[in-house]
Amino acid sequence: MEAVRTCVGCRQRAPRADLMRVTQQAAVLIVDHKAVNPGRGAWFHPVSECLQLAINRRAFSRALKMTEPADVSGLVQSIEKAETMLASK
């Protein structure tokens, strides 16, 4: 059976392989490319729509049980970079 996770942005269930795992380090959200970082993880589709939805709904902070505001700037940058790369293919 394939592992299924819920995207914190659009709330759709999807296979792990379609989602990106995010963990936090000192309130900074970081992409866990290999999905191996310890602790809580939040999953989302690596597209800006789902990222923005998750940010607007503070879904990352909630999923990761963070007490401080999440720093999403690095995450936004890496998604933008990934989308630019896809668009130029």
Q: Which residues bind Zn ion (CB under 5 A)?
A: 7, 9-10, 45, 50
Q: Between 25 and 49, whose beta carbon lies closer to Zn ion?
A: 49
Q: Are 19 and 46 in contact (CB under 8 A)?
A: yes
As measured in angstroms, the least distance from the Cβ of 45 to Zn ion is 4
As measured in angstroms, the least distance from the Cβ of 10 to Zn ion is 3
Dihedral sign, CA of 9, 10, 16, 17?
negative
Position closest to Zn ion via CB: 7
As measured in angstroms, the least distance from the Cβ of 82 to Zn ion is 14
CA distances from 8 to 28, 32, 87 (A): 17, 15, 24
